[in-house]
Amino acid sequence: AAMAAERALAMATCTAPVNIAVIKYWGKRDTDLILPINSSLSVTLHQDQLKTTTTAAASRDFTEDRLWLNGKEADVGHPRVQACLREVRRLARKRRGGSEDAAALSLSYKIHIASENNFPTAAGLASSAAGYACLVSALARLYGLEEELSEVARRGSGSACRSMFGGFVQWQRGERPDGTDSLALQVAPETHWPELRVLVLVVSGEKKPVGSTAGMQTSVETSPLLKHRAEVVVPERLAQMMQHIRDRDFEGFGQLAMRDSNQFHATCLDTFPPIFYLTDVSRHIIALAHRYNAHHGHTKVAYTFDAGPNAVIFALADAVAEFVEVVRRSFPPAANGDQFVRGLPVGSAALLPELEAAVLTAPVPGAVQYILHTKPGPGPQLVDDPSQHLLGPDGLPRSRA
Ligand code: DP6
């Protein structure tokens, strides 16, 4: 009698978002399992502007695991990629629980993975969070897993666990040494705060700074401020931030986001030897935001910075056009034909003379390369259309148009 054949080739494609923390993750208590010293909270950004797409395929004809990033072959043996692969396969095995399921994809097949971003990696927009969230989502689809997998994405990059949900997301630090309670939880969906907008100010001439993984380890080892932050400051702030989000209180949300970004960068300065992620341009943007808010008498814009000089600005929709004009006047774009404002449309705004006098200072031409206008968005998505797979029927990357 013929045995039921296992599928010869299976393929799944997913997309996943970038997230920006408003209560920052900085420091691990377990570097192997990626367990943080404090909980964190982020906003998931919309995939129309920033996303990773990943196709995962398994076939009995593949002779080795392979990985392509943005069209170039990369090291599939990377320990964090391997950790994600191992965990997904372990869950798939557990789910099958030894029962014979001939229709199921063989776990012994080698896999091919192709991943690409719809934004330039060089822009320094954190891509590892979207990348690992997408890898885990695509693998989960491939093996038919339906459980929540932020715990697996966390093994790729800590912040990746927060990209497994849309909207407003908490990464709960957890207490257990095995990390089974260190996972992401959605605080509110992306529809919760429809007026919220995000402007990414991509700063020019970025050089590669100290990576997050190495930087936070030095901070854990040397910064007493980081210890105080994790033990005392973050627990209080996390509760406050969740309330501001629930209340859609931009004043509270924005103030706390700025303070938390500043404290994160203070812990970097408190690290020994110190780490500098902010540049003169970053500090210029910080001062500009404070003058702008002071002129209006309340918080109209709020900045936050990760491990690099690019500013992420939160604002309500009705403030975007005016603030973009303030940025354009402060950092006049080089007239090289590049779009200065990208993403969601931005209306035009004229600045009143009082505002100009109070907010603008001597312009710094070209310091901001471009502005990306986006908003909160949903979590990972399945791509149904097979023509969108990044791998062809032969399991190799399709030539990109
Ligand atoms: C400053 O998640 O990139 O963006 O866990 O070592 O991969 P690893 O670090 P990563 O760190 C992100 C740090 C941050 C703050 C944040 O996103 O919360």
Q: What is the mean pLDDT of residues 162-168?
A: 98
Of residues 228, 277, 248, 25, the one with CA closest to residue 128: 25
Atom 7 in ligand 1: residue holding the nearest Cα: 157
Those residues with Cβ within 8 angstroms of residue 158's Cβ, 6 or more apart along the chain or in another chain: 25, 28, 34, 36, 171
Report the percentage of the chain scoring pLDDT > 90. 88
Confidence of residue 202 (pLDDT cuts 50, 70, 90): very high
Please determine, for residue 279, whether its predicted confidence score (pLDDT) is greater than 90.
yes
Whether the CB-CB separation of 126 and 310 falls below 8 Å is answered with: no
Please determine, for residue 2, whether its predicted confidence score (pLDDT) is greater than 50.
no
Q: Which residues pair with 112 in a beta bridge?
A: 57, 66
Q: How far is the CA of 21 from the centre of ligand 1 (A)?
A: 9
- Cα separation, 150 vs 160, whole angstroms: 8
Q: Any idea which residue has 């990972």 for tokens?
A: 380
Q: How far is the CA of 364 from the centre of ligand 1 (A)?
A: 30
Atom of ligand 1 nearest to the CA of 264: 1
Question: What values do phi and psi take at 270, rounded to 5?
Answer: -80, -10
Question: Is the bond preceding residue 194 a cis peptide, omega within 30 degrees?
Answer: no
For the chain, domains (ranges, CATH) are: 9-189+383-388 (3.30.230.10), 196-374 (3.30.70.890)
Residue 399, pLDDT score: 76
Q: How far is the CA of 26 from the centre of ligand 1 (A)?
A: 7
Rg of the chain's alpha carbons, rounded to an integer? Answer: 22
Burial bucket for residue 100 (CB in 10 Å: 0-12, 13-18, 19+) = exposed
Residue 357, pLDDT score: 98
Question: What values do phi and psi take at 183, rounded to 5?
Answer: -145, 170
Convert the pLDDT of each residue in 106-162 to its tens digit: 899 999 999 999 987 656 676 799 999 999 999 999 999 999 999 999 999 999 999
DSSP symbols for 25-56: ---EEETTTTEESS-EEEEEBPTTTSEEEEEE
Atom 14 in ligand 1: residue holding the nearest Cα: 306
Burial bucket for residue 384 (CB in 10 Å: 0-12, 13-18, 19+) = exposed
Please determine, for residue 207, whether its predicted confidence score (pLDDT) is greater than 80.
no
Atom of ligand 1 nearest to the CA of 80: 7
Convert the pLDDT of each residue in 241-278 to its tens digit: 999 999 999 999 999 999 999 999 999 999 999 999 99
Confidence of residue 1 (pLDDT cuts 50, 70, 90): very low
Bridge pairing between strands 311-316 and 368-374: unpaired
A 10 A CB-CB count for 38 gives: 21
- Cα separation, 201 vs 357, whole angstroms: 23
Please determine, for residue 17, whether its predicted confidence score (pLDDT) is greater than 90.
yes
Residue 206, pLDDT score: 67
Confidence of residue 104 (pLDDT cuts 50, 70, 90): confident
Q: What is the mean pLDDT of residues 27-51?
A: 98
CA distances from 271 to 221, 233, 258, 308, 311 (A): 8, 17, 20, 16, 22
3-class secondary-structure state, position 130 = helix
Whether the CB-CB separation of 160 and 154 falls below 8 Å is answered with: yes
Residue 337, pLDDT score: 63
Q: How far is the CA of 160 from the centre of ligand 1 (A)?
A: 8
Q: How far is the CA of 185 from the centre of ligand 1 (A)?
A: 17
Atom of ligand 1 nearest to the CA of 213: 6
Q: How far is the CA of 77 from the centre of ligand 1 (A)?
A: 21
Please determine, for residue 4, whether its predicted confidence score (pLDDT) is greater than 70.
no
Q: What is the mean pLDDT of residues 187-210?
A: 91
- CB under 6 Å to ligand 1: residues? 21, 24-26, 34, 40, 126, 128, 157-159, 212-213, 306-307
Secondary element (H or E) of residue 246: helix 234-247
Q: Which residues pair with 186 in a beta bridge?
A: 169
Whether the CB-CB separation of 7 and 143 falls below 8 Å is answered with: no
Average pLDDT, the chain: 94
A 10 A CB-CB count for 232 gives: 10
Bridge pairing between strands 9-17 and 311-316: unpaired
Convert the pLDDT of each residue in 322-368 to its tens digit: 999 999 999 999 877 679 999 999 999 999 999 999 999 999 999 99
Please determine, for residue 205, whether its predicted confidence score (pLDDT) is greater than 90.
no
- Cα separation, 170 vs 131, whole angstroms: 19
Those residues with Cβ within 8 angstroms of residue 237's Cβ, 6 or more apart along the chain or in another chain: 23, 256, 259, 260
Convert the pLDDT of each residue in 61-99 to its tens digit: 999 999 999 999 999 999 999 999 999 999 999 988 766
The pTM for the full model equals 0.96
Q: Which residues pair with 156 in a beta bridge?
A: none
Confidence of residue 101 (pLDDT cuts 50, 70, 90): low
